[in-house]
Amino acid sequence: MGLSDRNQKGFRRLLRSFVFATHGLKHVVKYEQNMQIHVGCSLLVIALAWWLQFPLMHWMVLLLVIGGMFSLEIMNTAIERTVDLYTKEFHPLAKRAKDVAAAAVFVYGVFAVVIGLLLFGPPLLDLLL
């Protein structure tokens, strides 16, 4: 994006920003293994929620959790690529930045699992009992 593009306003600039964002999303889904795992698990969870006929509030929570996980994984990838751009050599601070970004995804993932158990546990138990 050139300097003249940054000064451009209106619908055309907005449309271009969506195109760039779509390119980024396609890239992480195609090349990042963890994102592929998140997408696969999300599709399974969505199918199960549909089968269990989740109420609207459960859907809202579920979709917020999935969207949050996708967003954090994308940010983690952006941080990793930025660090890689800055230095190809090992540096303790570069490692720390990558580890901390990965930790954010991990922490969110743990809470996502807990939320999943709270959402799916009762209806699944009702089916089994």
What six digits make up the tokens of 38?
A: 């998140």
Catalytic, 89? Answer no
Q: How far apart are CA 118 and CA 116, in angstroms?
A: 5
Write down the catalytic residue from 32, 73, 80, 89.
73
Q: Give catalytic residues, as residue numbers.
A: 73
